[in-house]
Structures are given as C-alpha cells and as structure tokens.
Structure 1
Amino acid sequence: MTTITDPSYVDPARINPRAVRLLKAFKDALARLRDEEGLTFDDLNTVAGLLQQMQAATGAPLALLAMPLYSELFQGGQDGYTPSDDVDSPTFVPGSPRIDNPGTLPMRPDEPGTPLIASGRVLDGNGQPLAGAKLDIYHAANNGNYSGVFDDSVPTYNLRGHLLTDADGRYRFTTISPVAYAEPHVAAVDGVAEAAAAVGRSLYRPAHIHYELHHPDLVTSWRGEIYFRGDPVIPVDFVGPKLAHPALQADTVLHEDPTDIAAHGFQSPYRTAEFDFILKTRTSPDTAAPKEAA
C-alpha cells in the first residue's frame, strides 16, 4: 500500500521559531550588505570556496575555519571581567598531566625557544583569590605545532599541563615563550594568503598561551588565549584583529642580566609574563572590582 503525503504539509510541532527568526535575520543582514556595501553572489561564492579548500586541507570543521569572519563576536565577559571565548579550540587535548605550582610544563630536553616564567592570580569580582582553581595550560612549540594534534613524533603532552592555584589564588609555571605562527595546512591553500592580505590581515597568529580555568564557584568555566602586550602581529591576527582584547594581553619583560639568568637556572636570557584573571563567581557583583582592590 502506498501512502501519499501532502507535499505542502509541514508538521507545526517540528518548527523551531528561533531557527526561523535567525534565518530571517541572517538574510536581512546579507540584504543590507548587498544594498549598502555592494555584496555580490561571487563574493559569497569566493569565501565559501576558500573555506571548503581549507576544510579539505585541515579536516577542521567549517565553523572553526570561518573564525576570521566572526571570532570577535563570540567573546563573553564584560564589566571588568576577563573576556572568554565561546568557541571550542581545535588544539585542546584533554588529560594533560598535573604539574606543581610553581612548576614546569612538560617539554623535551632540547626544547627550542626562550624560557618564560608566567605568573599571576585568579580573582573573583570582589578582588578575592580563588584558591584551588584548576588551570589547563598549553601552547604551540617554537615551530608553531601543537603536540597531540598532528603525528609529528612529539610527545602528546609536550607543553601541556594543569595546576591548581594556591591559597592566594596564585599560579606560576615555567615554559618556552610562544612565537607567532601560521597554520601550514591553511597557508598552503591557493588564494588564502591573498584573501587575508585583501582585508589587512597576516596568515600568522600572534604568540599566545591557551588556558582553561575551572572552579566550583565560577558561573561558567573560563577558556581562551592570553597574548603578550606589544606583539606587532596582534593588529593583523589571521583569526581577527579584535580577538586580542587589551584585557587579554599580559605584561612581559626580557631579563638579560647574567647573574639573574644563572640564579633562575637558565643558560640564556629569559622572559617573565604576569597576568591576573578576574572571573565572575556566583557571589560576584555585576561589575568587577579593580585589580588594585585585591
């Protein structure tokens, strides 16, 4: 027996009002770009074509590859709180080993790069310390590669680890200074460099360290990237020039005094970077207290 379904019938129970509203808003936005900025179908086709090529080259989801178009739109945290990303990082690898506080991220004996001592505090909106906060920490090696992401013979948790803040909310760890890098699989795609240059961007990401912070009192866990103040790549960041908000830039200092270098057990100049996280807890005010009040 053949069942004939009315082709004009749509089950009302399956209609998602939010999806309908968002689709209309998206098309309205495209119409404004068409009328006010001269957006053409060829423009859209060019962008879609590049994204498809990048997806084929990297295997990353299209939503992540399109981050240069929207990354700065999805950043939580305002009113004095440290902004956070609402986009999953494709370079996160779960299960990193715990290190001491202060401690050192796992690294190879001959890990290339300038030593870096990163430190700071994790505070709530009243400027009070969050003791026992878990910091997941990771960053790219000196060649721009992330361990555990591609099979490049590097140990899975190289330059990855987690620690717990002390009673004063402090953290401190030693690692290698990250550097600016370009994703080689993306850079190899025809037309990507030209497209980036056309909108005033480099194919490079500025140097940064990834953090994920967890604590029972947090309204939401924090995740994002901390950059280094004065990095010239920040304004032309491939992912988005507004991504490295001033509130996400750590102060950094290069130390070159031989006595100081030897006292810290290094063989060459090293850097220090200080950064305080101000995060909203269940008892925090709507507006965060200044760091000076801590």
Structure 2
Amino acid sequence: MTTHADPSYVDPTMINPRAVRLVEAFKQALMRLRDEEGLTFDDLKAAADLLQRVQTATGAPLALAAMPLYSELFQGGQDGYTPSDDVESPTYFPGSQRMDNPGILPMREDEPGTPLIASGRILDGHGQPLAGAKLEIYHAADNGNYSGLYDDGVPKGNLRGHLFTDADGRYAFTTISPVAYVDPVTAAVEGVAEAAAAIGRSSYRPAHIHYEVHHPDLIRPWRGEVYFTGDPVIPVDFVGPNIAQPVLQADSVLHDDPADIAAHGFDGPYRTAEFDFILKTRTSPETATVKKRPA
C-alpha cells in the first residue's frame, strides 16, 4: 500500500541550523573557486573518481580515502601546545602492550632498521612535569607498513605500546628509526602519483612517530605525530607540509662510535632523539613558548 504525503513538507524539528550554515558555506567556497580559480564540474568529477578508485583498492571508507584533502586542517597537534581537533589516525589500534619506562617498544627479534632511543619530558604550560601521563606510541616498520593493517604475517602489536611518565614527567624507549613511506596499495592506484605530483607533492609521507598523551589535567588527550628535523620529505608531504610544524620536529643524532655502540648493546650505529611535549592543561596559560633544548 502506498502512503501519500505532502512532498513539500519538511519536519522543522529535523532541521539542523549548523548543517544548513556549513552546507551553504561550502557551496559559497566552491562558487568562489569557480569564479576566481576556474574550478569546473569536470575537476570535481576527476577528484571524486580518483578517491573512489582509492577506496575500492584499499577497502577504506571513502571519508578516510579523502583524508589528504583535509588532514592539515584538523590533525597533527596544531602548534604542539594546544590539542588538535582529534582526527583519529587510521593507523591507530587500541589495546597496546604496556612497556617499562625506560622500555622497548614491542617488536620482532629481527626487526630491521637502525635502533633509535627516543626520550624527553611531558610538561604543562608552566614547565611543570606531568607525572603518570600515559603515552601511547606507534609507528611504521622499516618497510613503511603499520602492523595490523594488512594480513602480512606481522604481529598486530608490532611497534605499538604505551608507558607512563615518571615523577619528573620523563619517558624513554628504544625502537627502530622510522623511515619515509608510501602506502603500497594506494600508490598502485592509477593516477595517485600523478595527482600528487600535479600539486607539488610526493607520494611519500616523512618519517614520524605517532603519540597520544592522556592525563587527568589535560583538557582533552593530545594526539599528533612527531617528525625529524631536516627530513627532505616534509616540504612535499603527501598529506601536506603544514602538518609537520617545526615545533613537532625532533633532532635525531647518529651515534657510530664502536665503544658507545657496544655500551648500549647494539650491533651497529644507532640514533637518539629527544622531544619534550609542552601541553596545555586546565591550569596552564593560554599560550606557552616551546623552549629548545640547549645545544
């Protein structure tokens, strides 16, 4: 049985004023691009077609496939002090293994790559330590793959873990040095590399470590990525160079002295990187200066 209703009727209780404003603002932005930059319907269709091919190849939700278009706006820890808008990384998985502090990030016995000792402190805007802060840590392997994303035989918890800061807000852990990587499935999609090159970007992401900081004094958890100073991929980052702000870059130092290497129990050269998280809490000032470590 067919139910007849007034096709012009819209339930006023269903109208969301914010959604109305956002859609109208988005259309206005597209009109400005049309009038000022020559945006065409074919441009939009080409972008949508490429995103659809990526979604089909990776199996990721279409919204996730489109992340390179908006990640710079909402992800990356912003200025490193105030929290980002909490765009959860598609490479994150809950339930990581707890480590000692200092500790070793869970990894395979034969994990390839150059060892890295990462350390630093977690401080509030007054420079006071956040003791007992939970620090979630994860990053890609030496081949650029994140554990748990693909059925590649790598344990799901590989290079994933968490620890708690000590009374001075300090943390330290040993892992392997991340490298620049390209997602192999996405890179194989016809048109992806060409689209990246057309806007002056590489298909690669710069080396980085993902962190989440949880503490009762934080307004909300801090989520972001810490990069490495001097990485040549940062200016041409696939998801945008602005995501790796200078305040989110750690200096990495190579150690190749044989005696030093032996003292740390490594078989070859290793790296160290120090990074202090200075994060806004409920009692922190509105702004804080991120101080560089003394040379």
After TM superposition, the structure 1 stretch with the greater mean CA deviation from structure 2, 7-16 or 58-67, is 58-67
TM-score normalised by structure 2 residue count:
0.95
Query: Is the 2:100–2:163 Cα contact (8 Å) retained in structure 1?
Result: yes
Query: Is the 1:82–1:277 Cα contact (8 Å) retained in structure 2?
Result: no
Tell me the CA shift for residue 63 of structure 1: 2.1
Identity, % of aligned positions: 79
Aligned to 2:64: 64
- Please show how residues 250-261 of structure 1 align to structure 2 within 5 Å: 250-261=250-261
Distance 1:227 1:167 in 2: 26
Taking structure 1 as reference, are residues 104 and 43 closer, same or farther at Cα in structure 2, changes over 3 Å only?
same
Query: Is the 1:83–1:248 Cα contact (8 Å) retained in structure 2?
Result: no
Distance 1:256 1:79 in 2: 33
Tell me the CA shift for residue 269 of structure 1: 0.4
Deviation string, structure 1 residues 71-96 (Cα, Å, up to 9, x no partner): 11114766771653621111111111
Aligned to 1:291: 291
- Please show how residues 160-239 of structure 1 align to structure 2 within 5 Å: 160-239=160-239
- Please show how residues 108-123 of structure 1 align to structure 2 within 5 Å: 108-123=108-123
Distance 1:80 1:10 in 2: 45
- Please show how residues 3-82 of structure 1 align to structure 2 within 5 Å: 3-75=3-75, 81=81
Query: Is the 1:213–1:221 Cα contact (8 Å) retained in structure 2?
Result: yes
Aligned positions, number = 293
Taking structure 1 as reference, are residues 53 and 270 closer, same or farther at Cα in structure 2, changes over 3 Å only?
same
Tell me the CA shift for residue 291 of structure 1: 3.4
Deviation string, structure 1 residues 243-278 (Cα, Å, up to 9, x no partner): 111111111101111111111111100000111111
Aligned to 2:245: 245
Indicate the SS of the match to 1:224: strand
Tell me the CA shift for residue 4 of structure 1: 2.4
Query: Is the 2:79–2:247 Cα contact (8 Å) retained in structure 1?
Result: no
Indicate the SS of the match to 1:278: strand
Distance 2:216 2:110 in 1: 38
Tell me the CA shift for residue 140 of structure 1: 0.6
Indicate the SS of the match to 1:182: coil
Deviation string, structure 1 residues 105-127 (Cα, Å, up to 9, x no partner): 11111110000000011010111
Distance 1:71 1:2 in 2: 46
Indicate the SS of the match to 2:241: coil
Aligned to 1:153: 153
Structure 2: 5+ residue runs without aligned partners? none
| Paired AA for residue 124 in structure 2 | D
Distance 1:77 1:260 in 2: 34
Aligned to 2:125: 125
Distance 1:199 1:80 in 2: 27
| Paired AA for residue 26 in structure 1 | F
Tell me the CA shift for residue 287 of structure 1: 1.3
Query: Is the 1:126–1:289 Cα contact (8 Å) retained in structure 2?
Result: no
Query: Is the 2:177–2:271 Cα contact (8 Å) retained in structure 1?
Result: yes
Aligned to 2:137: 137
Distance 2:190 2:134 in 1: 41
Indicate the SS of the match to 1:24: helix
* RMSD of aligned residue pairs (Cα, Å): 1.7
After TM superposition, the structure 1 stretch with the greater mean CA deviation from structure 2, 178-187 or 85-94, is 85-94
Indicate the SS of the match to 1:143: coil
Query: Is the 1:251–1:274 Cα contact (8 Å) retained in structure 2?
Result: yes
